[in-house]
Protein backbone atom coordinates (compact mmCIF):
# COMPACT_ATOMS: atom_id res chain seq x y z
CA UNK A 1 0.00 0.00 0.00
CA UNK A 2 2.91 2.33 -0.68
CA UNK A 3 4.15 4.00 -3.84
CA UNK A 4 7.89 4.25 -4.34
CA UNK A 5 10.02 6.21 -6.76
CA UNK A 6 12.24 3.66 -8.50
CA UNK A 7 15.82 4.80 -9.02
CA UNK A 8 17.43 1.75 -10.59
CA UNK A 9 16.50 -1.59 -12.13
CA UNK A 10 18.42 -3.66 -9.64
CA UNK A 11 18.19 -5.57 -6.40
CA UNK A 12 19.77 -4.28 -3.22
CA UNK A 13 20.73 -6.09 -0.06
CA UNK A 14 18.97 -4.75 3.02
CA UNK A 15 22.21 -5.11 4.99
CA UNK A 16 22.20 -3.08 8.20
CA UNK A 17 19.26 -0.98 7.02
CA UNK A 18 15.56 -1.66 6.59
CA UNK A 19 13.46 -2.81 3.66
CA UNK A 20 12.47 0.86 3.15
CA UNK A 21 16.04 2.10 3.51
CA UNK A 22 18.46 -0.68 2.44
CA UNK A 23 22.19 -0.17 3.11
CA UNK A 24 23.74 -3.12 1.32
CA UNK A 25 25.27 -3.47 -2.15
CA UNK A 26 23.20 -3.83 -5.30
CA UNK A 27 23.35 -7.20 -7.05
CA UNK A 28 22.27 -9.01 -10.20
CA UNK A 29 20.20 -12.18 -9.98
CA UNK A 30 23.37 -14.15 -10.78
CA UNK A 31 25.17 -12.57 -7.82
CA UNK A 32 22.16 -13.21 -5.62
CA UNK A 33 22.22 -16.87 -6.62
CA UNK A 34 25.92 -17.06 -5.82
CA UNK A 35 25.17 -15.84 -2.28
CA UNK A 36 23.18 -18.93 -1.41
CA UNK A 37 23.01 -20.51 1.06
CA UNK A 38 24.20 -17.42 2.94
CA UNK A 39 21.07 -15.70 4.35
CA UNK A 40 20.64 -12.35 2.58
CA UNK A 41 17.51 -10.23 2.20
CA UNK A 42 17.09 -8.31 -1.05
CA UNK A 43 14.56 -5.66 -2.04
CA UNK A 44 13.95 -3.95 -5.36
CA UNK A 45 16.06 -0.81 -5.37
CA UNK A 46 14.05 2.33 -4.59
CA UNK A 47 14.19 5.56 -2.65
CA UNK A 48 12.17 6.03 0.49
CA UNK A 49 10.06 8.81 -1.05
CA UNK A 50 6.40 9.10 -1.95
CA UNK A 51 5.37 11.87 -4.35
CA UNK A 52 2.01 13.55 -4.80
CA UNK A 53 0.28 16.86 -5.49
CA UNK A 54 -2.15 18.99 -3.47
CA UNK A 55 -4.00 21.16 -5.96
CA UNK A 56 -1.05 22.40 -8.04
CA UNK A 57 1.54 22.10 -5.26
CA UNK A 58 3.78 19.00 -5.64
CA UNK A 59 4.89 17.32 -2.45
CA UNK A 60 7.44 14.72 -1.36
CA UNK A 61 7.08 12.55 1.72
CA UNK A 62 10.04 10.71 3.26
CA UNK A 63 8.74 7.47 4.73
CA UNK A 64 11.66 6.99 7.10
CA UNK A 65 11.95 10.52 8.51
CA UNK A 66 8.31 11.61 8.35
CA UNK A 67 9.22 14.83 6.50
CA UNK A 68 6.53 16.29 4.22
CA UNK A 69 7.84 18.99 1.86
CA UNK A 70 5.72 21.09 -0.51
CA UNK A 71 6.91 22.95 -3.61
CA UNK A 72 5.36 26.04 -5.24
CA UNK A 73 1.68 25.90 -6.11
CA UNK A 74 -1.83 26.41 -4.77
CA UNK A 75 -3.60 23.94 -2.49
CA UNK A 76 -6.98 22.62 -3.57
CA UNK A 77 -9.82 24.57 -1.98
CA UNK A 78 -11.40 22.87 1.05
CA UNK A 79 -9.16 19.77 0.85
CA UNK A 80 -7.26 19.09 4.04
CA UNK A 81 -3.68 17.84 4.10
CA UNK A 82 -4.82 14.63 5.81
CA UNK A 83 -7.44 13.92 3.14
CA UNK A 84 -4.97 14.63 0.37
CA UNK A 85 -2.34 12.28 1.84
CA UNK A 86 -4.90 9.53 2.32
CA UNK A 87 -5.79 9.76 -1.38
CA UNK A 88 -2.18 8.63 -2.01
CA UNK A 89 -2.40 5.87 0.62
CA UNK A 90 -0.18 7.83 3.00
CA UNK A 91 -1.19 7.70 6.66
CA UNK A 92 -1.34 11.31 8.02
CA UNK A 93 -0.18 9.98 11.40
CA UNK A 94 3.21 9.13 9.86
CA UNK A 95 3.98 12.83 9.20
CA UNK A 96 6.31 14.45 11.74
CA UNK A 97 7.26 17.69 9.95
CA UNK A 98 5.81 20.01 7.30
CA UNK A 99 7.73 22.65 5.35
CA UNK A 100 7.47 24.62 2.11
CA UNK A 101 10.42 25.06 -0.28
CA UNK A 102 8.57 27.36 -2.69
CA UNK A 103 5.64 29.76 -2.37
CA UNK A 104 2.54 27.76 -1.50
CA UNK A 105 -0.81 29.53 -1.64
CA UNK A 106 -3.53 28.37 0.73
CA UNK A 107 -7.12 28.54 -0.61
CA UNK A 108 -9.99 30.66 0.68
CA UNK A 109 -11.45 27.68 2.52
CA UNK A 110 -8.55 26.35 4.58
CA UNK A 111 -10.72 24.97 7.38
CA UNK A 112 -9.03 22.02 9.15
CA UNK A 113 -6.16 22.26 6.66
CA UNK A 114 -3.52 20.80 9.04
CA UNK A 115 -5.92 19.29 11.56
CA UNK A 116 -5.55 15.82 13.10
CA UNK A 117 -1.85 15.49 12.21
CA UNK A 118 -1.38 13.93 15.62
CA UNK A 119 2.34 13.10 15.30
CA UNK A 120 3.39 16.43 13.78
CA UNK A 121 6.23 17.93 15.83
CA UNK A 122 7.56 20.59 13.41
CA UNK A 123 5.72 23.13 11.23
CA UNK A 124 7.67 25.78 9.27
CA UNK A 125 5.43 28.45 7.73
CA UNK A 126 8.23 30.03 5.63
CA UNK A 127 7.04 30.42 2.00
CA UNK A 128 3.37 29.97 2.88
CA UNK A 129 0.91 32.55 1.48
CA UNK A 130 -2.39 32.88 3.34
CA UNK A 131 -3.51 36.23 1.94
CA UNK A 132 -6.52 34.68 0.14
CA UNK A 133 -7.75 32.68 3.14
CA UNK A 134 -11.11 33.60 4.67
CA UNK A 135 -11.73 30.46 6.75
CA UNK A 136 -9.06 29.19 9.16
CA UNK A 137 -11.46 27.36 11.46
CA UNK A 138 -9.95 24.23 13.08
CA UNK A 139 -6.81 24.73 10.97
CA UNK A 140 -4.48 23.13 13.57
CA UNK A 141 -7.13 21.37 15.61
CA UNK A 142 -5.86 18.24 17.36
CA UNK A 143 -2.20 18.52 16.29
CA UNK A 144 -1.58 17.13 19.72
CA UNK A 145 2.21 16.58 19.60
CA UNK A 146 3.21 20.01 18.27
CA UNK A 147 4.97 21.92 21.07
CA UNK A 148 5.89 25.18 19.31
CA UNK A 149 4.00 27.00 16.57
CA UNK A 150 5.38 30.20 15.04
CA UNK A 151 3.08 31.66 12.36
CA UNK A 152 4.97 34.88 11.72
CA UNK A 153 4.46 34.57 7.94
CA UNK A 154 0.69 34.18 8.15
CA UNK A 155 -1.38 36.98 6.58
CA UNK A 156 -4.87 37.00 8.07
CA UNK A 157 -6.31 40.25 6.72
CA UNK A 158 -9.24 38.54 4.95
CA UNK A 159 -9.97 35.87 7.56
CA UNK A 160 -13.42 35.95 9.14
CA UNK A 161 -13.54 32.57 10.90
CA UNK A 162 -10.92 31.35 13.40
CA UNK A 163 -13.13 29.13 15.57
CA UNK A 164 -11.29 26.13 17.07
CA UNK A 165 -8.20 27.13 15.08
CA UNK A 166 -5.78 25.88 17.76
CA UNK A 167 -8.13 23.68 19.76
CA UNK A 168 -6.82 20.52 21.40
CA UNK A 169 -3.15 21.31 20.79
CA UNK A 170 -2.47 19.67 24.11
CA UNK A 171 1.34 19.76 23.88
CA UNK A 172 1.89 23.29 22.60
CA UNK A 173 3.78 25.58 24.98
CA UNK A 174 4.40 28.58 22.69
CA UNK A 175 2.18 30.32 20.14
CA UNK A 176 3.50 33.29 18.19
CA UNK A 177 0.54 35.03 16.52
CA UNK A 178 2.08 38.50 16.47
CA UNK A 179 1.59 38.83 12.71
CA UNK A 180 -2.17 38.20 12.92
CA UNK A 181 -4.46 40.98 11.75
CA UNK A 182 -7.87 39.93 13.05
CA UNK A 183 -9.79 43.08 12.11
CA UNK A 184 -12.32 41.11 10.02
CA UNK A 185 -12.68 38.05 12.25
CA UNK A 186 -16.20 37.51 13.58
CA UNK A 187 -15.89 34.04 15.15
CA UNK A 188 -13.19 33.10 17.69
CA UNK A 189 -15.21 30.50 19.59
CA UNK A 190 -13.14 27.70 21.13
CA UNK A 191 -10.06 29.15 19.41
CA UNK A 192 -7.71 28.08 22.23
CA UNK A 193 -9.72 25.19 23.64
CA UNK A 194 -7.76 22.79 25.86
CA UNK A 195 -4.26 24.22 25.44
CA UNK A 196 -3.27 22.63 28.73
CA UNK A 197 0.50 23.17 28.39
CA UNK A 198 0.54 26.69 26.94
CA UNK A 199 2.99 29.01 28.73
CA UNK A 200 3.57 31.74 26.12
CA UNK A 201 1.28 33.37 23.56
CA UNK A 202 1.79 36.56 21.54
CA UNK A 203 -1.47 38.31 20.58
CA UNK A 204 0.05 41.77 20.25
CA UNK A 205 -1.86 42.73 17.08
CA UNK A 206 -5.21 41.12 17.85
CA UNK A 207 -8.24 43.25 16.99
CA UNK A 208 -11.53 41.89 18.29
CA UNK A 209 -13.86 44.75 17.29
CA UNK A 210 -15.90 42.62 14.85
CA UNK A 211 -15.92 39.42 16.89
CA UNK A 212 -19.45 38.33 17.80
CA UNK A 213 -18.65 34.89 19.23
CA UNK A 214 -15.91 34.25 21.81
CA UNK A 215 -17.67 31.35 23.54
CA UNK A 216 -15.26 28.85 25.04
CA UNK A 217 -12.36 30.78 23.53
CA UNK A 218 -9.76 29.74 26.12
CA UNK A 219 -11.36 26.88 28.01
CA UNK A 220 -8.80 24.40 29.36
CA UNK A 221 -9.37 21.18 31.20
CA UNK A 222 -7.49 18.03 32.17
CA UNK A 223 -8.67 14.46 32.38
Q: What is the pTM of this model?
A: 0.80
Sign of CA dihedral 61, 63, 64, 65: positive
pLDDT at 194: 94
Q: Average pLDDT of 204-208? A: 92
Residue 3 has pLDDT above 60, yes or no: no
Per-residue pLDDT of 130-162, as tens digits, reads 999 999 999 999 999 999 999 999 999 999 999
What's the pLDDT score for residue 104? 98
pLDDT, average across residues 59-80: 94
3-state secondary structure of 82: helix
Mean of pLDDT values over 86-111: 95
Beta strand 128-129 with 104-105: parallel, antiparallel or unpaired? parallel
pLDDT given for residue 34 in this prediction: 76
What's residue 14's pLDDT?
84
In sequence order, the 6+-apart residues with CB closer than 8 A to the CB of 121 are: 96, 97, 145, 146, 147
Amino acid sequence: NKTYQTTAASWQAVGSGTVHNPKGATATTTQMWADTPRPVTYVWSHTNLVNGVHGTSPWTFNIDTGELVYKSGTFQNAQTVAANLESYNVNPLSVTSISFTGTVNLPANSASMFADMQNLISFNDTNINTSAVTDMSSMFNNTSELETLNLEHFVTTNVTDMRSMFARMTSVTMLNLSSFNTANVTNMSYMFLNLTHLTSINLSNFNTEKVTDMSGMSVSYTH
